[in-house]
Amino acid sequence: MVNAFRTLTIDCNDPYALAQFWQEVLEGYAEDSDDPNNPDDPAAFLRGPLGAPGLLFIPVPEGKSVKNRLHLDIAPTDGTRDEEVVRLVRLGATLVDDRRNPDGTGWAVMADPEGNEFCVVRSQSERGQ
């Protein structure tokens, strides 16, 4: 038997706000037009683009207390890694650990507004692909 990766569930305090943040971050992720997210809903969901898993945001009573054991790596599709880091900070993310190197390699460790870490890596064009 095999399984399909359908949904990534993210524990949080405010599902609606965090879904709004990630919808701005990830290309092609959107709420379901037949069942839109509302601030008072018990959870929030973003449908992924064709073939990509969805994101489900559910409230938990405890706050984040340790480093994630699983995180997303994102790559900009229409700009550079460094431009994306600046944009993400404007959206409410924080730069946690700057692993960018003078030669252009490396990545930036960011945290979403609730402290969940993710990394921003170079775009395909920056990697020469």
Contacts of 89 (CB under 8 A, 6+ apart): 95
The predicted structure's pLDDT at residue 129: 65
Q: What is the mean pLDDT of residues 116-127?
A: 95
Structure tokens at 50: 């064709």
Distance of CA 10 to the CA centre of its chain: 10
Q: What is the mean pLDDT of residues 60-65?
A: 84
Structure tokens at 37: 């997210």
* pLDDT score of 56 more than 70: yes
What domains are defined for the chain?
Answer: 1-62 (3.30.720), 70-129 (3.10.180.10)
Q: Are 37 and 44 in contact (CB under 8 A)?
A: yes
Q: Which amino acid is at 30?
A: A
The predicted structure's pLDDT at residue 46: 98
| Straight-line distance from the first to the last Cα atom of the chain, in angstroms, rounded to the nearest whole number | 35
The predicted structure's pLDDT at residue 61: 87
Confidence of residue 68 (pLDDT cuts 50, 70, 90): confident
- Tell me the per-residue pLDDT of 14-31, one tens digit each, with 9 for 90 and over: 999 999 999 999 999 999
